Chain A
Amino acid sequence: MSFVVIDPEVEGLGVMLADLVRGNIEADPTRARLLHGLAGTVNVHAHDAEVDVALEFRGGQMLVHAKPYPKADLDITTDAETLMGMSTTPLRMGMPDVTKAEGRAVVGKMFRGELKVRGMTTRSKLLRRLQQLLSVG
C-alpha cells in the first residue's frame, strides 16, 4: 500500500507536499507510524503563489486533492516562503521549538497574522502529525 496517493490533476504545491512526505518516509520508515490512526482534512493555501491544496488523512494514507474542502479540519494560510520554511523548523513534540530562533520565528508569524492556522486548538494532534510528516529537520 502506498502511503501517499495523489489525484491526477494535482500539480505544484500538492506534488511538493506529497514528495516531502514520501521522501521522509523513505528515509525513515518509522515515520509511516505517524499516519496510523490519523483522520482529518487539511487545506493549505500559499496566498502569494495563489495556490491551494487539500490533504486528507485516512486509512494510514495521505491523499492529496487539488480542490480545497469547503470546511477542512485544519486550514493553513501563509506565503510560499513561510510554508517552505515550516519544513525546516525544528520541532518539539510536533510543534515549533520556541527554544530555537527558527521556532520562535514561526510563532512570531502566527502572532502577526502572517501564518494563520484555523483549527489548531481543536485538531492539535492532526497539526502535530502533519508537521512531523513534513519536517526535514
Chain B
Amino acid sequence: MALFPSEAWLKEYVDKINSSKEYEEAAATWEGDLCYVFEAEPDKGVPNDVRAWVDLWHGKCRGYKYDLPAEEGDASKFIIRAPYSRWKQVINKELDPIKGMMQGKLKLKGDLPTIVRYVKAANELVNIAGNVQTEFVDDQS
C-alpha cells in the first residue's frame, strides 16, 4: 500500500505504467513529459502543492521526479493540475478525467489537440493510477 501523495506512490505508478501493454500500445508514438500538480489542501494533510513529473516516451515512462520545484515542473510539455481531493476522486474512479476537465475540475496546460489524439493513452494512465494500491494521506489513522 503506497501513501498518496508520496514518492513511493509515484514509483509504484511508474512501475505499473511500464508493465502495461494497453498503455504501451495506446501511447506507442507519444513523446512528451507530463507534470501532475496535486494542489495544496492543508486541512487534508497536503500543506503545499506537490509536483510529480513523468517522462513519457513511446509507451514507456523513462524517468520520474517527485516534488520537483515549480519552475521545473511548469516547464513540462503537459501539466494537469487539480486540488488534492480531486485527484483522490480520479484515483478512486469517482471522477472521470474527461468530465473533470470539461467541468473545470481538472485543468490542463499544453497542446490539447495532442491530448485528444491520445485520449486512449490518457485514459489508460488514469486506469493505471486507479490500480495502484493507495492509502490517502487524509485517510491515515
Binding site for B on A (CB under 8 A): 11-13, 15-16, 19-20, 23-24, 27, 46, 48-51, 80-81, 83-85, 87-88, 136
Among A19, A81, A136, point to the contact of B98 (Cβ < 8 A).
A81
A13 touches B102 (CB 8 A): yes
Shortest 10 CB-CB distances between A and B: which pairs?
A12-B104, A11-B104, A19-B112, A49-B99, A13-B102, A136-B113, A23-B113, A49-B102, A80-B99, A87-B116
Most interface-central of A27, A46, A84 (chain B CB within 10 A): A84
Inter-chain contacts of B140 with A (CB < 8 A): none
Could you mark each residue 87-114 of chain B with 1 if its beta carbon is under 8 Å from any beta carbon of chain A, else 0? Answer: 0000000001011011111001001111
Inter-chain contacts of B102 with A (CB < 8 A): 12-13, 16, 46, 49, 51, 80, 83
Taking the complex as formed, is B68 at the interface, i.e. its CB lies under 8 A from any CB of chain A? Answer: no
**Which chain A residue has the least Cβ–Cβ distance from B111?**
A23
Among A19, A23, A50, A85, point to the contact of B103 (Cβ < 8 A).
A50
Inter-chain contacts of A51 with B (CB < 8 A): 102-103
Could you mark each residue 15-41 of chain B with 1 if its beta carbon is under 8 Å from any beta carbon of chain A, else 0? Answer: 000000000000000000000000000
B56 to chain A, nearest CB (A): 18
Inter-chain contacts of A50 with B (CB < 8 A): 103
Binding site for A on B (CB under 8 A): 96, 98-99, 101-105, 108, 111-114, 116-117, 119
A16 touches B112 (CB 8 A): yes
**Which chain B residue has the least Cβ–Cβ distance from A17?**
B112
**Which chain A residue has the least Cβ–Cβ distance from B123?**
A81
A76 to chain B, nearest CB (A): 13
A20 touches B112 (CB 8 A): yes
B104 touches A15 (CB 8 A): yes
Given A12-B104, A84-B119, A88-B119, A48–B99 Cβ distance below 8 Å? yes
Inter-chain contacts of A12 with B (CB < 8 A): 101-105
A27 touches B103 (CB 8 A): no
Among A27, A46, A49, A84, point to the contact of B116 (Cβ < 8 A).
A84
**Which chain B residue has the least Cβ–Cβ distance from A83?**
B102
A136 touches B117 (CB 8 A): yes
A32 to chain B, nearest CB (A): 15
Inter-chain contacts of B111 with A (CB < 8 A): 23
Q: How far is the CA of A83 from the CA of B102 in the complex (A)?
A: 10
Inter-chain contacts of A23 with B (CB < 8 A): 111-114
Q: How far is the CA of A97 from the CA of B50 in the complex (A)?
A: 44
B99 touches A27 (CB 8 A): no
Most interface-central of B99, B108, B113 (chain A CB within 10 A): B113
B103 touches A49 (CB 8 A): yes
12 contacts between A and B (CB under 8 A): A12-B101, A12-B102, A12-B104, A13-B103, A20-B112, A20-B116, A23-B111, A51-B102, A84-B116, A84-B119, A88-B116, A136-B116
